Amino acid sequence: MILVTTRFPKIVEMVTKATDPIDLKGLEPDEFWIFFQVCVFGEIIQDEHDKEDLIDIGRQIASKLKCSPLAAKTVGWLLSKKPSREHWVEILEKKEWLNQKHGDDIIPALKISYDYLPFHLKKCFSYCALFPEDYKFDNLEISRFWISIGIIDSSGQNVKIEDIGSKYLDELLDNGFLMKGDDNYYVMHDLMHELSQSVSSKECAYISCSSFRADDIPSSIRYLSILIENNYIENFGEEMDKLKRRIDIGNLRSLMIFGEYRRASVVNVFKDTFREIEALRVLFIFMNSLNSLPLHFSKLVHLRYLKLKSPHYSEVCLPSMVSRFYHLRFLDLQNWNSSYALPKDISNLVNLCQFIARKEFQFNVPGVGKMKHLQELKEFHVKKESTGFELRELGQLEVLGGELNICGLENVRTGEEANGAKLTAKKNLIMLGLVWGVGQKFTGDDILDSLQPHSNLRELNIVNHGGASAPSWLCSKIQIKNLEVLHLEGVCWVTLPPIGQIYHLRKLKLKKIVGICQFGSDFIGGITEKSFKHLKEVEFDDMPELVEWVGGANSHLFSRLERISCNSCPKLTALPLSGWSCSSAQDNTIWFPNLCSLYAKACPKLCLPPLPHSSKLSSFQTDYLHYECTKLYIKMSSELAFHNLGEVEDLTINDAALISFADLQKLHPLRSIEIMRCQETFLRGLADGVVLHSVQSLKLQEFPLTRKSVPNLFKCFPGLSRLDVCASDEDHEEVVLQFPSTSSLRNVRFNRCKNLVLPVEDGGGFQDLLLMESVSIANCGRLFSQWSMREAAQSINPFPCCLKELDFWDESSTMAMALLSNLTSLTTLGLRGCKNLTVDGFNPLTTFNMTDLYVYNSRRDETEPYSIAVDLLAEVARTKPMPVGSIQLVRLQVDSISAVLVAPICSLL
């Protein structure tokens, strides 16, 4: 089912040929008044006499809002800012209320709220009209745009660009003009988008290539955006030509083209239309080739913000003239999917603040030190034989912040050279990575000592340092006490630094470190009562000599720990989990009381208790088990603590022998079971009489079909709505498929059940399953062996008429289409590889509601290939009661082109 919602009558007319539209109204008046009170007062007013003077005016204003929650939220914010009678009366008497065009029009109400915004927010909101509907506003992107067109000024402010954007976006959010979407994005309601277009219509124009008229665009616009869609209006080129003559192209300050376009005709239209642009501050454009650029691209010397996008697997290079845009502040190549080659003089962009691009671009900028305003450089490579890639380049980037990874440190010869990076002065750095090449000759401890970061640093990665000890700023007197994440990889240090002194540490990762055999409070220096109060995650990865995490006497130090990860630690034998010891002695020390996630893979000697060892542990993964919230996967034999498992809903088991039916009863409320191998152990469990009422979905592979196993299966799982059975390869006696009369099955799939047969009798097989929606049968051989293709099909059908989806795969039984004659509710029918299928008794009305039809049954005889699809579709086309357009087919796949071309089926589609 496809649900379409719209506010536009034209779209309603396009999609409602077969169904009647449902007119969605606003809230009921009483419900709306309650919601409106909450928006205004923050609560429901129980005694209206307390605010009688405001309540009366509030009711009058509420009556003008057409029961719209959006209007209530926006106008409610406006009233709440100044809860005085004078202010409310002023709003009630606004002339904008007279502009309501119809009964549901709330734009005037939104406009009144807009009029009360501060000037800077009015400008910020109005220019959002240039972005497409439902656009996800990222605080960085919108900040760059606002700064580039001069709405807000970031010069002279000691504030990050993203902070400026976040502040204004949050203010618009609080005032009801934006909504918070997923992943910290902001989105705008379509009515708010309409309002923004209205209030900015003299300066801004947002057009779609699928529907626009140049005559509707005011000649005064200076900011233009174009949405590229799959369909273009027929006279797109003519309208763009009119637009060129209607507005002053040379005076445009921004041109943003959203979407991809590769047609040469469209590229030429844009080149011609925007031939005269010279004053642009903002340009968003898709670049399929150099020809995609505006004719006078090299003259756009006033550009502040350039966003280029290119197709995947293209060889197009970044245009060399980009390096001439000396005023450019933001270069966005995040969606550049072509060559990573940069112009050699790219560092001429001396005013660039943000270079948004993949690391392959960022570490390839020679002489990057010229870009003194650059705020982030995710990766920098020190190169021995290339000028412009020395550490002193970083030293000139005084405002550098965010993330910085310095690679190729084996090419640094002296501590003095390392000092050139001036890392201690970079107070805006959040994450720093110091990386040496693997197997490179070590050049001295003083280099790492000279790379000391500022104390504000939050995350530090040190990789492949070949010295014997940690740097002094991480040892004797720790200088980065605000550090939250420490990642040490491939270092050759004899001992770990005094990690206990890093009081704000949240995550510790140790990887590929030789020489560390034990871990724990007794083996970490700098331990005090303040140590590890914030530590939530410890990760060991590829630690070849780590044997044990030793508990010791300081168990309380790790009380905040939430996650432990151990991967590829071949000698690791023990973790100090509460109440557990590999030795016979019972350990009652409470360790990791807040541990909720445990990962232990490729640690063959690790001794673990029955998991989960506490009810707090909600996620664990080992070589044998995987448990995540409500899902449990048992790969190999392992002891489980069922009393701590909580609510397991989905269970997957490699082999039925790994768990007993008695244990299955402990897992509640179990909804779904999948078993990869069902051997004799499973059959014995079925025969024990255990009933699992809560299980609704069951998938069994290698299941032995016997006369006992099938009825026992339905007795054990009486609440099934979905059943998927793949039989074992063993030959068994013929089994008659008989479902219980009380079955609630909706979806059934049988695969390789070669000894399964359907009974020919009233109520037999699928007939009484009145809730059945879909059936899939694959390679079952004898399923219809008891059916007489002609006589029986005239009185009894094997499937209930309510069936909506039916699929046959490689079914060798002799079958006639008469068996399906009652299935007039089918929406999907698949007939694949059914070599003995005949068209006898076919009822064309079975295709009346069908949206998907798949027929692959061609067989070769002595003359030419034959497909049953030809006969089926010809019969459908010949049926008189089916008028043109009555067939709902959306997808038709057949194995013979003649099935479509010979039969006049196209006229019915």
DSSP per position, 435-470:
EPPTTPPP--HHHHHTTPPPTT--EEEEES--SSS-
CB 224 within 8 A of CB 244: no
Residue from 82, 71, 84 nearest 113 by CA: 71
Mean of the per-residue pLDDT values of the chain: 85
Same domain for 741 and 884, yes or no, is yes
DSSP characters for 359-376? HHHHTT-TTGGG-TT---
Q: Are residues 194 and 283 in the same domain?
A: no
Residue 153's CB is within 10 A of a number of other CB atoms, namely: 10
What are the two backbone dihedrals, phi and then psi, of residue 368, each rounded to the nearest 5 degrees? -65, -20
Specify which residues 186 forms β-bridges with.
137, 180
Q: Which residues of 834-864 are buried (b: 16+ CB within 10 A; e: fewer)?
A: beebbeeebbbbbbbbbbbbbbbbbeeeeee
pLDDT at 230: 78
Instruction: Please tell me whether residues 761 and 870 are part of one structural domain.
Output: yes
Looking at residue 292, what DSSP letter applies? G
Sequence-separated (6 or more) residues with CB below 8 Å from residue 63: none
pLDDT > 60? residue 325:
yes
Which comes out higher in pLDDT, residue 645 or 394? 394
Give domain status of residue 581, yes or no.
no
Task: Return the minimum-mean-pLDDT range out of 28-32, 463-467, 561-565, 601-605.
Answer: 28-32
| 909 and 785 in a common domain | yes
Residue 736 β-bridge partners:
757
533 within a domain of the structure (yes/no): no
Tell which wins on pLDDT, 748 or 841: 748
The rounded distance, in Å, linking the Cα atoms of 512 and 504 is: 24
Residue of 698, 632, 721, 634 whose CA lies nearest to 668: 632
For the ranges 153-167, 210-224, 583-597, 894-908, the one whose mean pLDDT is highest: 210-224
Q: What is the CATH number of the domain that holds 280?
A: 3.80.10
Phi/psi-derived region of residue 890, left when phi > 0, alpha when psi is between -120 and 50, beta in every other case: alpha
Range of the domain at 215: 202-357
Pair 669, 740 in one domain: no
Q: Which residues of 874-908 are buried (b: 16+ CB within 10 A; e: fewer)?
A: bbbbeeeebeeeebeeeebebbbebbbeebebeeb
CA–CA distance, 434 with 637 (Å, rounded to integer) = 43
Establish whether the linkage from the previous residue to 118 is cis, with ω within 30° of 0. no
305 assigned to some structural domain: yes
Judge if 141 and 214 occupy the same domain: no
Q: Does residue 837 carry a pLDDT above 70? A: yes
**Cα(727)–Cα(703) distance, rounded to whole angstroms?**
5
Domain count across the chain: 4
Reported as a pLDDT band with limits 50, 70 and 90, residue 557 is confident
Q: Is the pLDDT confidence value at 791 over 50?
A: no
| pLDDT over 80 at 585, yes or no | no
In whole angstroms, what is the distance from residue 453 CA to residue 526 CA? Answer: 20
Identify whether residues 877 and 855 lie together within a single domain.
yes
Whether the pLDDT of residue 584 is over 50: the answer is no
Residue type, 267: V
Does residue 220 share a domain with residue 79? no
If asked whether residues 677 and 807 sit together in one domain, one would say no
Q: How far apart are CA 294 and CA 257, in angstroms?
A: 12
Domain stops at, among 682, 701, 728: 728
Give domain status of residue 423, yes or no: no
What is the DSSP track for 609-625?
Answer: PSBSSSTT--EEEESSE
Final residue in a domain of this structure, among 668, 703, 728: 728
Torsional class of 367: left (φ above 0), alpha (ψ -120 to 50), beta (otherwise): left
- Confidence at residue 862, expressed as pLDDT on a 0 to 100 scale: 43
Q: Tens of pLDDT along 622-680?
A: 999 999 989 999 998 888 888 888 789 999 999 888 888 888 888 878 999 999 988 78
Tens-digit pLDDT profile for residues 30-58: 777 778 778 777 765 555 555 677 887 88
Question: Higher confidence at residue 249 or residue 897?
Answer: 249
Stretch 68-82: mean pLDDT, rounded?
Answer: 78
SS3 137: strand
- The verdict on residue 495 lying in a domain is no
Contact partners, residue 810, CB within 8 Å, separation at least 6: 778, 779, 832, 833, 834
Per-residue pLDDT tens digits for 510-545:
999 998 999 987 778 778 888 899 999 999 999 999
The residues, any chain, with a CB within 8 Å of residue 461's CB and separated by 6 or more, are 405, 431, 432, 433, 434, 435, 487, 489
The reply to whether 410 falls in a domain is no
Give me the percent of the chain exceeding a pLDDT of 70.
87
Beta bridge partners of 726: 701, 751
In angstroms, what CA-CA distances link 718 with 639, 670, 687, 742, 773? 29, 13, 14, 8, 18
Q: Where are the alpha helices (DSSP H) in 298-413?
A: 359-362, 392-395
pLDDT, position 45:
57
Say whether both 768 and 884 belong to one domain.
Answer: yes
In terms of domains, do 754 and 885 share one? yes
**Is residue 398, in this structure, part of any structural domain at all?**
no
Same domain, 108 and 246: no
Domain membership of residue 437 (yes or no) is: no
- Domain end residue (candidates: 298, 330, 357): 357
State the Cα–Cα distance between residues 351 and 360, nearest whole angstrom: 21
160 vs 760: which has the higher pLDDT: 760
pLDDT tens, residue by residue, 421-460 = 999 999 999 999 999 998 776 767 789 999 999 999 999 9
Supply the pLDDT for residue 507: 97
Lowest mean per-residue pLDDT among 321-335, 508-522, 570-584? 570-584
Q: For residue 694, what pLDDT is reported?
A: 93
Banded model confidence at residue 718, pLDDT cuts 50, 70, 90: very high
Identify the pLDDT of residue 603. 95
| Cα radius of gyration rounded to whole Å, the chain | 36
